[in-house]
Chains A and B, each alone.
Chain A
């Protein structure tokens, strides 16, 4: 897919909206940045006149506009009813984020987008509401709402993805599950969710790049092109396992950090819920590539084409390399 030059402009305003809302000192400025973000994301996702893109754009627009209106309304009643105002700002930010009680729009919108747009929705669009939620951690009510939303979104992300055969919906539910870890990271402190967000962006970016380069949108797409390249057959399981958070890969590192700090703060029940739901997500990640690697692994097929081993792009190769050997990366942080 090639993008016209005007998308660069809209992408820059998207990033500047995020920056504006993160660095603003008032809720009005935060609302301004979120509106700028929304107004520039809609032209980015309506690239052509296709019913799927249109529907995703409409659902995204209506939800985000409602959340923005609730945010600016509750920021306006701040002088009158302070605690209600904070709670309603937090709820509208959770609606913008797609966290658990308000998650119903998120898989549908992700399903309608193409892979690069889905990557923007899964990572960059989460940045501003996450930062604004991390500013709202000064009272017990807000903290307990954040924790409730985190636990519920871990369960929803795990159980919702179980029956999914479409890869974009599956990535959306996996993103909801990872968002639970980030919300618990907000509960612990700012730096933890930032670390988790950085790692998650990288790992999900590498998975999305792999799926985009193979043009796969369902599990059967992934199976059909399996006998083409040996390298892809190795990379798809490894990247997906990294997203699932298995120990030799990069995706384990933020989970390791979170597990360590959660048990240091003796928050064992949230840790138990998060780990159990991550196990369920690991089940549906495994179901993605078990048929790929057992039934049609090209190493066992006689007509394997070794020439296509080097046909992948170098960016894909380097990202997968960091994904596989990336567990060595957080060692300076852990010491």
Chain B
């Protein structure tokens, strides 16, 4: 019998790390950042549901998490529409009005 408990930690951590890497390094379009954020959220969902199932079988907490993550994704898409309407594109290179 293979023990999967450490795999249930490390595989979501690798997933979150890859999401953070995509968020930081590949920031040409804003949609890419939003997708990376959602990918990180998905990894956190995996990690969290495995941990919660480990603790006290309170997996339904992850439904709260999923609700808020979906709200955040919807707000991110709203911001995408807003920035396309005000700037004309979603490139990060055009967000330079406020730099020091």
Binding site for B on A (CB under 8 A): 28, 31-32, 35, 38-39, 42, 46, 49-52, 54-59, 61-62, 65-66, 68-70, 72-73, 76-77, 79-80, 107-109, 111-112, 169
CB distance from A76 to the nearest CB of B (A): 5
Among A35, A59, A69, A70: residue with most chain B CB under 10 A: A69
Q: Distance (Å) between the CB of B8 and the closest chain A CB?
A: 10
Which chain A positions have C-beta within 8 A of B76? 61, 65
| Chain B residues within an 8 Å CB radius of A65 | 37, 72, 76
B 54-91 contacts with A by CB, 8 A:
54-55, 61, 64-65, 68, 71-72, 75-76, 79, 82-83, 85-87
Interface centre among A42, A56, A66, A76 (most CB of B within 10 A): A76
- Please determine whether A77 and B98 come into contact, CB atoms closer than 8 angstroms: no
Separation of A109 and B97 alpha carbons in the complex (Å): 11
Known contacts A62-B37, A66-B23, A107-B100; 15 further A-B pairs (Cβ under 8 A): A32-B64, A38-B72, A42-B75, A54-B79, A54-B83, A55-B97, A66-B20, A66-B37, A69-B40, A72-B65, A73-B16, A73-B40, A79-B51, A79-B54, A111-B98
Chain B stretch 23-68: residues in CB contact (< 8 A) with chain A: 23, 30, 33, 37, 40-41, 43-44, 47-48, 51, 54-55, 61, 64-65, 68
Judge whether A77 and B13 touch: CB under 8 Å: yes
- Is A39's CB under 8 angstroms from B100's CB? no
A188 to B68, CA, bound (A): 35
Cα–Cα distance between A137 and B64 once the two chains are bound (Å): 28
Asked whether B9 is an interface residue with its Cβ less than 8 Å from the other chain, the reply is: yes
**Chain B interface, >50% SS class:** helix
Q: Enumerate chain A residues within 8 angstroms of B83, measured Cβ to Cβ.
A: 54-55, 58
Q: Which residues of B contact A (CB under 8 A)?
A: 9, 13, 16, 20, 23, 30, 33, 37, 40-41, 43-44, 47-48, 51, 54-55, 61, 64-65, 68, 71-72, 75-76, 79, 82-83, 85-87, 95, 97-100
7 nearest A-B residue pairs (beta carbon): A54-B86, A108-B98, A76-B48, A111-B98, A76-B47, A35-B68, A69-B40
Which B residues touch A51, using CB under 8 A? 86-87, 97
The distance in angstroms between the C-alpha atoms of A305 and B27, with both chains bound, is 55
**Which A residues lie within 8 Å of B16 (CB)?**
69, 73
A76 to B65, CA, bound (A): 12
Q: Contact at A77–B47, with CB atoms within 8 Å?
A: yes
Provide the residues of chain B in CB contact with A79, threshold 8 Å.
Answer: 51, 54-55
Q: Are A58 and B95 in contact (CB under 8 A)?
A: yes
Per the bound structure, the CA–CA distance linking A134 and B98 in Å amounts to: 32
Residues A80 and B95 in contact in the complex (CB < 8 Å), given A65-B76, A107-B100: no
**A39 and B75 form a contact (CB under 8 A):** yes
